[in-house]
Structure 1
Amino acid sequence: MRPTLARRLLAGLATATLAVGAAGCGDDGDRSTDAEGRIINVFSGANAGFVPNFNPFSQNSVAGTMSVLYEPLLYFNGARVDDVQPLLATEYRFADDGRRLDLTIREGVRWSDGKPFSAEDVAFTFNLLRDHPKINQNGLPIVEAVAADPTHASITFSQGVYTRLNLIAGRIWIVPKHIWSTVADPAAFTNSKPVGTGAFTLASFSQQNYVFERNPNYWEAGKPKIRGLRFHQFASADSAIAALAAGQIDWAGSFIADIDKQYVSKDPEHNRYINESQLYLTNLIPNLDRAPFDSVAVRRAISLALDRAQIIKLAFSGYGREASPAQLPRPLWDDYIKPEYQDRKLEFDPARAEQTLRADGWAKGADGIYAKAGRRLSFTVKVVQGYNDYISALQIMTQSLKAVGIEMKTQEVSFTAFSTDQQTGDFEMIITNLYSEGTAYSWYSRAFSSKRTAPLGQQAGSNYGRFRDPGVDAALAAIESTPPEARDAIREQLFKIQDVIVERLPYIPLQQSASLIEYRTEHIGNFPTEENHYALTTPYNGPDMGIVAKNLTPAG
Structure 2
Amino acid sequence: MAAAAALTLAAAGCSGDGGKPAGGGNAGNSSITIFNGSTGTIVEQWNPFLPNFLQPTEGLIYEALYWYNFASDADPQPMLGTAYSWDTAGKVLTITTRDGVKWSDGQPFTAKDVAYTFDLLRRTPALNATGLKLASSVAKDDKTAVLTFEKPSFTDEASVLGNTPIVPQHVWEKITDPTKSINPNPVGTGPYKLKTFAAQSYVMEKNANYWQPGKPQIQNVRYIALATADAATAALTGGQVDWMSSFLPGLDQLLKNQKNLTYVNTPALTTSIFTCAGAELGCKGPQTDPAVRQALYYALNRDQLNKLAGGGFASTASPTMLLPERDKDWIADQANLTVPGTADVAKANQILDAAGWVKGSDGIRAKGGEKLSLTIQTVTGWSDYISLNDAMTQEFKEVGVELKPTQLSWQEWNTNQVQGKYQLSLDSIGLGASTNPYATYLRYTSTTTAKAGTAAGLSGNYARYANDKVDAAVAAAAATNDEAAQKQQYAIIQQEIVKDLPYIPIYVNSLLTEFSTANATGWPTNDNKYALPATWKNWDNGIVLSTIKPAK
TM-score for both structures, normalised by structure 2: 0.80
Q: Give 1:309 shift.
A: 1.4
Answering whether residue 76 of structure 2 is matched by residue 84 of structure 1, we say yes
The whole-number CA distance in structure 1 between the counterparts of 2:233 and 2:107 is 41
Q: Residue 120 of structure 1: which of 106, 112, 115 is its match?
A: 112
The one of 441, 446, 457 aligned to 2:438: 441
Q: Secondary structure at the match of 2:114?
A: helix
Distance 2:176 2:288 in 1: 49
The structure, 1 or 2, with the larger RCO (C-alpha pairs under 8 Å, 6+ apart) is 2
Q: What do the CA deviations read for 1:382-402 (whole angstroms, capped 9, x no partner)? A: 334746644542332333344
Q: 2:478 matched to which residue of 1?
A: 480
Q: Which moved more, 1:409-418 or 1:107-116?
A: 409-418
Q: Are the equivalent residues in 2 in contact too, given 1:75–1:543 (CA < 8 A)?
A: yes
Contact 1:302 1:353 in 2 (8 A): no
Instruction: Note closer, same or farther for the CA distance 1:533–1:36 as it changes in structure 2 (3 Å cut).
Output: farther
Which is worse superposed, 275-284 or 143-152? 275-284
| Structure 2 equivalent of residue 313 of structure 1 | 307
State the Cα distance separating 1:193 from its structure 2 match. Answer: 4.4
In structure 1, the residue matched to 2:318 is 324
User: Do the aligned partners of 1:475 and 1:497 also contact (CA within 8 Å) in 2?
Assistant: yes
Select the residue among 59, 62, 67 that pairs with 1:67: 59
Question: Judging changes above 3 Å, is the alpha-carbon distance between structure 1 residues 346 and 121 closer, same or farther for their aligned structure 2 residues?
Answer: same
Is 1:537 the equivalent of 2:533? Answer: yes
User: How far apart are residue 503 of structure 1 and its match?
Assistant: 6.0
**Corresponding residue number in structure 2 for 1:273:** 263
Q: Deviations over 1:199-231 (max 9, x none)?
A: 233445555644333333322233223334233
Task: Map 1:148-547 to 2 at 5 A.
Answer: 148-205=140-197, 209-262=201-254, 264-267=255-258, 269-283=259-273, 285=275, 287=277, 294=289, 302-338=296-332, 340=334, 344-350=338-344, 352-353=346-347, 356=350, 360=354, 378-384=372-378, 386=380, 389-403=384-398, 405-410=399-404, 412=406, 427=423, 431-435=426-430, 437-439=432-434, 440-447=437-444, 449=445, 463=461, 471-483=469-481, 486-502=482-498, 507-547=503-543
Q: CA deviation at 1:307?
A: 1.4
1:74 Cα deviation from its structure 2 partner: 1.3
Indicate the larger mover: 103-112 or 279-288.
279-288
Larger Rg: 1
Structure 2 distance, partners of 1:354, 1:192, is 50
Secondary structure of the structure 2 residue equivalent to 1:231? strand
Amino acid at match of 1:242: A
- In terms of mean alpha carbon deviation, does 454-463 or 529-538 score higher? 454-463
Aligned partners of 1:185 and 1:375: how far apart in 2? 46
Aligned to 2:514, the other structure's residue is in SS state strand
Alpha-carbon distance between aligned partners in 1 of 2:487 and 2:87, rounded to the nearest angstrom: 22
* Deviation per residue, 1:399-427 (Å, 9 max, x gap): 33444x43333263867599658966874
In structure 1, the residue matched to 2:282 is none
Tell me if the contact between 1:283 and 1:434 (Cα under 8 Å) persists in the aligned partners.
no
| AA partner of residue 249 (structure 2) | A
Q: Determine if contact 1:281/1:327 at 8 Å carries over to the other structure.
A: no
AA of the residue aligned to 1:446? R
Kept after mapping to 2: 8 A contact 1:326/1:341 = no
Note if contact 2:22-2:240 (Cα within 8 Å) is conserved in structure 1.
Answer: no
CA distance in 2 between partners of 1:266 and 1:107 (Å): 48
Distance 1:272 1:160, change over 3 A: same
Secondary structure of the residue aligned to 1:67 is: coil
Q: 1:430–1:62: structure 2 CA closer, same or farther, 3 Å change rule? A: closer
Counterpart code for 1:525: T
User: How far apart are the structure 1 equivalents of 2:406 and 2:276?
Assistant: 16
1-structure distance, mates of 2:118, 2:352: 57
- Counterpart residue identity of residue 404, structure 2: T
Of 208-217 and 37-46, deviating more is: 208-217
Residues 474, 438 of structure 1: alpha-carbon distance in 2 compared, 3 angstrom cutoff:
same
Q: Contact 1:74/1:170 (CA < 8 Å) preserved in 2?
A: yes
CA distance, structure 2, for counterparts of residue 229 and residue 379 of structure 1: 44
**Structure 1 residue 104: deviation in Å?**
0.6
The superposition leaves residues 419-442 of structure 1 with CA deviations (integer Å, 9 ceiling, x where unpaired) of 658966874x65544446334113
- Superposed CA deviations along residues 95-149 of structure 1, whole A, max 9, x for unmatched, are 3733332101111222234332211222222333344455444443433322111
Q: 1:381 offset after TM fit, Å? A: 4.2
Cα deviations across residues 484-532 of structure 1 (Å, max 9, x unaligned)?
xx33432343244334545665653212233432211234233223332
1:315 shift after superposition: 3.1
Provide the rounded CA distance (Å) in 1 between the counterparts of 2:416 and 2:217.
44
Change (3 A) 1:500 1:249: same
Matched residue of 1:97: which SS?
A: coil
Paired letter, 1:311: L
Deviation at 1:35, TM superposition (A): 5.7
Tell me, in whole angstroms, the C-alpha distance in 2 between the residues paired with 1:506 and 1:244. Answer: 36
Matched position secondary structure for 1:42? strand
Structure 1 residues 217, 411: closer, same or farther in 2, change over 3 A? closer
Q: Give the AA of the match of 1:16.
A: A
Helix, strand or coil: the match of 1:121? helix
- The alignment's C-alpha RMSD in Å is 4.2
Distance 1:132 1:292 in 2: 33
* Counterpart in the other structure of 1:97: 89
Q: What's the % identity of the aligned pairs?
A: 33
How has the CA–CA distance of structure 1 residues 58 and 512 changed in structure 2, closer, same or farther, with 3 Å as cutoff?
Answer: same
d(CA) in 2 for partners of 1:330 and 1:310? 20
Q: 1:60 and 1:452, CA in 2 relative to 1: closer, same or farther beyond 3 A? A: closer
Q: Which moved more, 1:71-80 or 1:392-401?
A: 392-401
Indicate the SS of the match to 2:256. helix
Cα distance in 1 for partners of 2:141, 2:208 equals 26
Cα deviation, residue 359, structure 1: 9.3
| Structure 1 residues 21 and 349: alpha-carbon distance in aligned structure 2, compared to 1, 3 A threshold | closer
Alpha-carbon contact 2:379-2:413 (below 8 Å) kept = no
**What is the CA distance between 1:39 and its match in structure 2?**
1.7
Segments of 5+ residues of structure 2 without an aligned counterpart are 280-284
